[in-house]
Amino acid sequence: MDFKNYIGGAWHETTEAVNNINPSDISDIVGVAAKAGAGDLDQAISAAHHAAPAWGKSTPQQRFDVLDFIGSEILARKEELGRLLSREEGKTLPEGIGEAARAGQIFKFFAGETLRQTGDRLASVRPGVDVDVTRFPVGVIGLITPWNFPIAIPAWKIAPALAYGNAVVLKPAELVPGCAWAIAEIISRSGLPAGVFNLVMGRGSEIGPKMIEDPRVTAISFTGSVPTGRGIAAACGANLKKVQLEMGGKNPMVVLDDADLDVAVDACLNGAFFSTGQRCTASSRLIVTEGIHDKFVGALAEAAANLKVGNALEAGVQMGPVVDEKQLAQDLEYVSIAAKEGGKVLGGERLSLASDGFYMSPALISETTNNMRINREEVFGPVASVIRVRDYDEALSVANDTEFGLSSGICTQSLKHASHFKANAQAGMVMVNLPTAGVDYHVPFGGTKGSSFGSREQGAYAAEFYTSVKTAYTLP
Ligand code: ADP
């Protein structure tokens, strides 16, 4: 078994195992991964539960040293880790290496945060009394992560969890055990005490609910699909467990008549199709005013058709495969739904290439309206639709007419419209003349409406989730 579970400071095999398949070439088995059952999970939770109190009392220096070690090693090995990532998930090698580097930077950022943990001291409203407000760790955090960012998402949950003194049980997505194992392997040599970090690879639907119901797990941070997230929120509510959810998006990108056409095409090409469109921040609704509409659609269609689709590990490839057969079927199904609804489809076909993988051409669907299913439901693939609108006011109203609210963008040279959009877009993140996807690692990440629930991830705001607050009154 190549990718074992890591529980209580030791590597654990499981009786059942899963093949990790390269989506660019299904004859390539990346490795054999553990498949945990309830017993393995119970051991991991128990290890975390016993290790949490001592780690919660560790000094900032101890935490800094551990996180800095992990971050430095990931950065030093970003090419190799990026290759593993691209091989198991299918994003292109430059994207994989970029994501690995980002994971390293996240650990470095939170290493710094260990030294910047502050509290408040206030005068009481009662004479002679002092009030201290301090933060303390939450305890054992269950982390449930998706396949689309196999190293960055675990990193942006593990790093703050450890920085603020918590113990962790990570349950990564079944499709990407390699990156989760690689992080665990680095952590195993970082000086972190045994049991503080545990990796349990297994079926989400089997061990996920057990993790949520276990009273020793005090909080859950989840990134994944809307239905799973909603179920987790309900279960955490029933168990009075702190929870944070990042789910889907149907992110709008508005293109106004006064946009720089090249900037708009670049932003939409990147936002819609890079990482094979498999980003919760992907631009899936391109809302374009009528004066620029035809020029924009023509230019974007040409750019999309010219994207080189292929094996993620080959030089020059700009879009890798879809992650697996099921996701590919879903993407193609949505393209056919959009065509039946009256959309004009360019691309969006399954491709047979030299290596046998889950390839499709990017799909650009024009002449759609915002009430079509293609514009209401998240596809999670290289599929974007275009909605023609009269003017800025209609564009804003269409952009906000969605149950999601993760990211939104506008391409314009008008300061007035850019400022108005920043203030009025119903989303947690707003981009002006930039793709809706692609964010910094030191500032908050998250959305509104049906996209997110609970406090923000990343940056110093992560403290909200990974700590609780204590208010102490003293009469000296
Ligand atoms: P996707 O596969 O589209 O990313 P999912 O929501 O199915 O979205 O998966 C995200 C993560 O949630 C994965 O780690 C998966 O194993 C896990 N998961 C799936 N079902 C459940 C569940 N019922 N409870 C907890 N976690 C789950």
Give, for all 476 residues of the chain, the pLDDT tens digit. Answer: 899 999 999 999 999 999 999 999 999 999 999 999 999 999 999 999 999 999 999 999 999 999 999 999 999 999 999 999 999 999 999 999 999 999 999 999 999 999 999 999 999 999 999 999 999 999 999 999 999 999 999 999 999 999 999 999 999 999 999 999 999 999 999 999 999 999 999 999 999 999 999 999 999 999 999 999 999 999 999 999 999 999 999 999 999 999 999 999 999 999 999 999 999 999 999 999 999 999 999 999 999 999 999 999 999 999 999 999 999 999 999 999 999 999 999 999 999 999 999 999 999 999 999 999 999 999 999 999 999 999 999 999 999 999 999 999 999 999 999 999 999 999 999 999 999 999 999 999 999 999 999 999 999 999 999 999 999 999 99
Structure-token match 């990134």, residue found: 223
Active-site residue, selected from the candidate residues 246, 268, 378, 411: 246
Active-site residue, selected from the candidate residues 236, 268, 280, 411: 280
Atom of ligand 1 nearest to the CA of 172: 14
Structure-token match 């030191």, residue found: 442
CA of 409 to the centre of ligand 1 (A): 28
Q: In angstroms, how far is CA 317 from the centroid of its own chain?
A: 23
Verify whether residue 280 is a known catalytic residue. Answer: yes
CA of 250 to the centre of ligand 1 (A): 19
**What are the structural domains of the chain?**
2-247+442-474 (3.40.605.10), 251-432 (3.40.309.10)
C-alpha closest to that of 253 among 291, 274, 281: 281
Cα–Cα distance, 205 to 396 (Å, whole number): 38
CA distances from 238 to 169, 226, 245, 290 (A): 21, 18, 16, 49
Q: What is the DSSP string of 22-76?
A: -TT-TT-EEEEEE---HHHHHHHHHHHHHHHHHHHT--HHHHHHHHHHHHHHHHH
Beta carbons of 83 and 96 less than 8 angstroms apart: yes
Q: Which residues of 367-385 are buried (b: 16+ CB within 10 A; e: fewer)?
A: bbebebebbebbbbbbbbb
Closest residue by CA, ligand 1 atom 18:
204
- What dihedral do alpha carbons 282, 318, 147, 235 form, nearest 10°? 10
Please tell me if the CB atom of residue 171 comes closer than 6 angstroms to any atom of ligand 1. yes
Please tell me if the CB atom of residue 235 comes closer than 6 angstroms to any atom of ligand 1. no
Task: Count CB neighbours of 237 within 10 A.
Answer: 10
Does residue 470 sit in helix, strand or coil?
strand
Which residues are registered as beta bridge partners of 205?
A: none
Task: Count CB neighbours of 425 within 10 A.
Answer: 22
Please tell me if the CB atom of residue 209 comes closer than 6 angstroms to any atom of ligand 1. yes
CA of 332 to the centre of ligand 1 (A): 22
Closest residue by CA, ligand 1 atom 22:
205
Does residue 258 sit in helix, strand or coil?
coil
Model pTM score: 0.98
Token duo for residue 361: 């051409």
Q: What is the DSSP string of 119-141?
A: -EEEE-SSTT-EEEEEEEE--EE
Please tell me if the CB atom of residue 227 comes closer than 6 angstroms to any atom of ligand 1. no
Structure-token match 């952590």, residue found: 187
Cα–Cα distance, 451 to 346 (Å, whole number): 28
Beta carbons of 170 and 199 less than 8 angstroms apart: yes
Does residue 161 sit in helix, strand or coil?
helix
**pLDDT for position 407:** 98
Residues whose CB is less than 8 angstroms from the CB of residue 384 and which lie 6 or more positions away in sequence, other chains included: 268, 272, 273, 277, 282, 283, 284, 285, 286, 362, 363, 364, 365
Cα–Cα distance, 200 to 184 (Å, whole number): 10
Q: One-letter amino acid identity for 156?
A: W
Atom of ligand 1 nearest to the CA of 211: 25
C-alpha closest to that of 90 among 332, 327, 363: 327
